[in-house]
Chain A
């Protein structure tokens, strides 16, 4: 072979890509050139192969058709081999290769041989297969998913909908692709959806939206759609992926729940009115009876009894009112629906009024209140709720105070108000101190002490609704001190 041609082949080899091997044969198929990369691919050095025929060196060329292609190249054709998988005998490596055969010309344009470029594409093909596998796994997963999935590209147009989506809408991928999906969205929701999507898209931010999507049977169902931007491994934006779940049933339940809460509020309002109306005339009639009996006629044993019994009845009517109040508070608190009507309120004045109002109850418990309102303690609180807190703490102290005096104090700190109610009664063990603020809890048996066991629970709930806290210091036999701490301004 002409040295000039060999030199050209060397130049060509240098221009080939990494992993590409180059060889050349003369018209008798004897190898005249064997590039360095051929050594790497076939595990044979050039001195082992030059001068021998290609078929002798690479016997599989017959079977793979490579020999025939070399002959075609010798006849002046350019031939591509396509991919071939085979085991290289010397290296025992199974790989995928492709080859291209070309005629070799001398300076006068006469065919003097053929060259072949052999490319090892094993890894490229493996990567492609892996990609296909990953993609088909994604599609299988996507189609098996119970949620509706979609994907869009960098142009914001949708490129993929899973089978679940297509089954839901009863439409084909072709119909849904691009902006076809917009036909499934309720026309009232569509402008909002597009606005949310476009805003999120340009900011590359995740989004969440609810809209009505038409099901195959024509019914619109509320769905919750969550979309997130996709990024490739190198961090470049690739579009969005989103998932939708049917929340129609949940929406309906929520609406029914709101309705039933409203119904209950209405009922409570009517019930409270209906219960308090007879209490009003009952209480006034009893108080009138006390007054009439105290005023009229000669001082007699009967008169004393009437005054005493009617006074007892007055206290019971007032207790009944407290219980009605408890019941209403409980049902509101238990559903977490308590709205505070805050206004500028003087805690000291509230305590003063409550102490005044409960003087008769204290007298019946054989106890007294010690309270000295020295100064106003102002804050923005719900007056009637605060009255409940004070009343419940006072009646609790009377109930468990074994007839000893109950000391009440209020004081203002910089941003808080402190209320303390101290009795000298039966006291509370450390274990019980943890329980008493719970619902339906009392430290002692229900047989000896009446009530719902809700008084302190209500206190805690109402105080916490104001952003405050309540705690107790006590030991059995040594009385108890309940301390309420209230922020004077609602926290922002």
Chain B
């Protein structure tokens, strides 16, 4: 597993671009997908698993909830920790029902984003694994 690899799933290109730039500056390798379906295809076609998935909830084609249930059914992917990044004000309570390891509310501050990533991709054991 590549500790410094992150997958970002969001249907907004501007968000994908800026998060990728920020994370790459910090030495992360970043894969992106614009919906849950694309994310699943990419995860299944790639031999290096990311150490974290940053997941938007409201997306076309396959939303964050559907992605989570697909992920839970796939033994290869089931254990990858997920942090939800959503504009929903109740993201925290929704994150609880999604059984993810973290949540960030949009708009998220850069430092907050980096702190959460560091916690999951750092040298220590990432939470939720």
Contacts and interface: CB of A to CB of B under 8 A. Distances in A.
Interface of A: 269, 272-273, 275-285, 287-288, 291, 317-318, 321, 325, 328, 341, 343, 357, 383-384
Contacts of A317: 107
B58 interface: yes
A309 B15 CA distance: 22
5 contacts: A277-B106, A280-B107, A287-B110, A288-B18, A341-B90
Contacts of B61: none
Contacts of A281: 12, 14-15, 17-18
Contact of B92 (A276, A287, A288, A384): A384
B43 interface: no
A175 B50 CA distance: 78
B58 A280 contact: no
Contact of A325 (B17, B21, B89): B89
A37 B110 CA distance: 113
Contact of B87 (A277, A285, A384): A277
A273 B11 CA distance: 12
5 residue pairs, one from A and one from B, having the closest CB atoms: A276-B87, A287-B110, A281-B14, A280-B107, A280-B106
Given A280-B15, A281-B15, A287-B110, A272 B22 contact: no
A275 B12 CA distance: 12
Specify the main secondary structure of chain A where it touches its partner: helix
Contact of A277 (B15, B21, B22, B25): B15
Nearest to A317: B107
**Among B14, B89, B93, B110: residue with most chain A CB under 10 A:** B89
B19 interface: yes
Contacts of B40: none
Interface in B96-115: 106-111, 113
A278 B87 contact: no
Contacts of A383: 92
Contacts of B92: 341, 343, 383-384
B106 A279 contact: yes
B87 A280 contact: yes
Interface in B18-32: 18-19, 21-22, 25
A272 B90 CA distance: 12
Contact of A278 (B14, B17, B88, B108): B14
A325 B106 CA distance: 11
**Among A275, A321, A341, A383: residue with most chain B CB under 10 A:** A341
A288 B21 contact: yes
A269 B14 CA distance: 21
Interface of B: 12, 14-15, 17-19, 21-22, 25, 58, 87-90, 92-93, 106-111, 113
Nearest to B11: A277
A318 B108 CA distance: 10
A272 B87 contact: yes
B88 A273 contact: yes
Specify the main secondary structure of chain B where it touches its partner: helix
Nearest to B94: A341
Given A284-B18, A284-B22, A291-B110, A277 B93 contact: no
Given A277-B15, A284-B110, A291-B110, 7 more contacts: A269-B88, A276-B107, A280-B15, A281-B14, A284-B18, A287-B110, A318-B107
Contacts of A288: 18, 21-22, 25, 110
Contacts of B90: 341, 384
B89 A272 contact: yes
A188 to B, nearest CB: 36
A85 to B, nearest CB: 85
A338 B14 CA distance: 32
Nearest to B104: A280
Nearest to B15: A281
Contacts of B111: 287
A383 B95 CA distance: 13
Contact of A284 (B58, B87, B93, B113): B113
Contacts of A318: 107
Contact of A279 (B25, B89, B107): B107
A293 B104 CA distance: 26
A343 B110 contact: no
A273 B58 contact: yes
A317 B17 CA distance: 18
Contacts of A279: 106-107
A317 B89 CA distance: 17
A284 B109 CA distance: 6
**Among B21, B107, B108: residue with most chain A CB under 10 A:** B107
Nearest to A384: B89
A107 to B, nearest CB: 109
Contacts of B15: 277, 280-281, 284
B109 A287 contact: yes
Contacts of A341: 90, 92-93
A321 B89 CA distance: 12
B107 A283 contact: yes
Nearest to B17: A281
B87 A282 contact: no
A383 to B, nearest CB: 6
A437 to B, nearest CB: 23
A359 to B, nearest CB: 12
Given A280-B107, A281-B14, A284-B110, A273 B87 contact: yes
Contacts of A280: 12, 15, 87, 106-108
A284 B108 contact: yes
